[in-house]
Amino acid sequence: MLRRSSLLSQNPSLRRHFFTCLFSSLSPPQSHHLSPSNQRLEILGSGYHFPTTNVTGSSSVSVGTSKFPSGSRSGLVNSSCFRLFGSQAAVEPSTSFGLTVEGIISSQWTILDESENDWKSHASAIAQSIHVIKRRLQWKSLIVRLEVLSIQLDKPDLWDDPVRAGKISREHGSLMSRMKEVKAFEQELLEHIDMIKLAREEDDADLQSESVKALLEMRRSAKEKELEAMLSGEHDSCSCFIEVQAGAGGTESMDWASMVMKMYKMWAQRHGYGVTVVDEMPGEIAGIKRATIKVDGEYVYGYAKAEVGVHRLVRCSPFDSAKRRHTSFAAVAVIPILGDTSTRVQINESDLKIERFRAGGAGGQHVNTTESAVRITHIPTGVTASCQNERSQHQNKASAMTVLQARLDQLEMARQAQMNAQHTQSLTEISWGNQIRTYVLHPYRMVKDLRTNYEVSDPDSVLEGEIDNFILSFLSSALDKDEDYS
């Protein structure tokens, strides 16, 4: 950027040409001009704008974050007044010579390796990533939802209900931020292409080299943005509880449930997430009957929701003296922790049955000799939650209440999803027919996801927490099914 500024300041002809290209690329098509009496400032990203009339009546043009008045009086338009409507969002930004992202895709420029110093290759790869991001964000639905929220925000009685108004405002801001980020990324690509054209016309090898390097950096960051687009669900950014329960099969299945829980603990630790054991019921001989852990971190639920379902193990049992092959099952549930501001269900103390009992298993003399463990039952629904891993009864009660709240919230989410016929994979009923993944340790070695057919031949690494490829494969396949994004 410094190099570009220096070149423009030293060469008036280059400077005039650059700003001519820039302003021509920022101007919207004439067919979308608003009438002079009803023009408002609409920003969709860095430099992507629509005509405006400010509050004092004088018109102005916005470029990036700068504002250039064309009348004698110009006032700043508060960012809370910005509104995004479907017809405006449909307008595509373009270069000074009319090239758009869709135009780059339709040109089918060959995508070469990153090491190749080819700007068309970089631009094509970036354009393809933008295409993927828009599809994953369900671009068309996002525009429609923003229009609905914008209309609601304009209602004069909106803040008569502050809770509802706050929810609408937060959702609008979140969606607007996503759209502006994509549009800014799109505009940046086109500006670099403009700069390459400009550098070629002025025979400036240094400027062209810098622009190609900038495209390469964008190409690398585009992959990260593709990943971020996978986690655009309402609760994807939340922390979560991961629950594992042994299926039928006695000790064999209990041991498998313990292995699955260990796999998730190691996965969480690999990513630096916080892991807390909330509840654990050990098996009589080995393993666990069920266990719940709390995993704290950014976008934990967004990733972990891919693990919901039944996990199947095939191996020669270490508990069978005849070394026969056994099949075991463990069910996994993932529950988002919505937090106080997003909690859907209000819990009344009168609806709770609280039981206290002695903790079992390892825990020390104090834990095992006092009634510090707590089990809470929500009487209207029959949902229960327990915790016995803390030394204090108050701490166990607080942890159990957190789990209970999350489970009731999930029930409410499932109820609303059924009413709207919008079932999501993360809320699929856990039953023994919903096998999502098979782990085979004998007679061959393989782990295969039955939803995506992704498989690896090293089950040991998977059981040690290397499950990212399974998660990303599932998220990609689930999101990329919807091709209608425009």
208 pLDDT more than 90: yes
**pLDDT tens across 211-247, in order?**
999 999 999 999 888 888 888 777 888 899 999 999 8
d(CA 481, CA 137): 12
| Cis previous bond, 12, omega within 30 | no
Angle at 176 between CA 483 and CA 273, to 5 degrees: 80
Q: What is the phi/psi pair of residue 154, to 5°?
A: -80, -10
- Flag the least confident range among 211-220, 260-269, 282-291, 313-322: 313-322
Query: How confident is the model over 166-182, as a mean pLDDT?
Result: 89
Residue 129 contacts residue 226 (beta carbons within 8 Å)? yes
Strands 435-440 and 309-316: parallel
**pLDDT tens across 370-411, in order?**
667 888 999 988 888 888 877 788 888 888 888 888 888 888
- Amino acid (1-letter code) at residue 56: T
d(CA 199, CA 208): 5
Residue 333 contacts residue 261 (beta carbons within 8 Å)? no
Give me the torsion for CA of 66, 70, 71, 77, rounded to 10°: -30
d(CA 14, CA 464): 58
Q: What is the phi/psi pair of residue 8, to 5°?
A: -70, -35
Q: What is the DSSP string of 183-198?
A: HHHHHHHHHHHHHHHH
User: For residue 340, what pLDDT is reported?
Assistant: 57
Higher pLDDT, 33 or 281: 281
Which of 127-141, 386-400, 408-422, 427-441 is modeled with the greatest confidence?
127-141
- Flag the least confident range among 8-12, 268-272, 342-346, 402-406: 8-12
- HSE-CB of 220 using CA atoms within 13 angstroms: 7
Residue 105 contacts residue 131 (beta carbons within 8 Å)? yes
User: For residue 409, what pLDDT is reported?
Assistant: 83
159 pLDDT more than 80: yes
Which of 61-65, 83-87, 172-176, 354-358 is modeled with the greatest confidence?
172-176
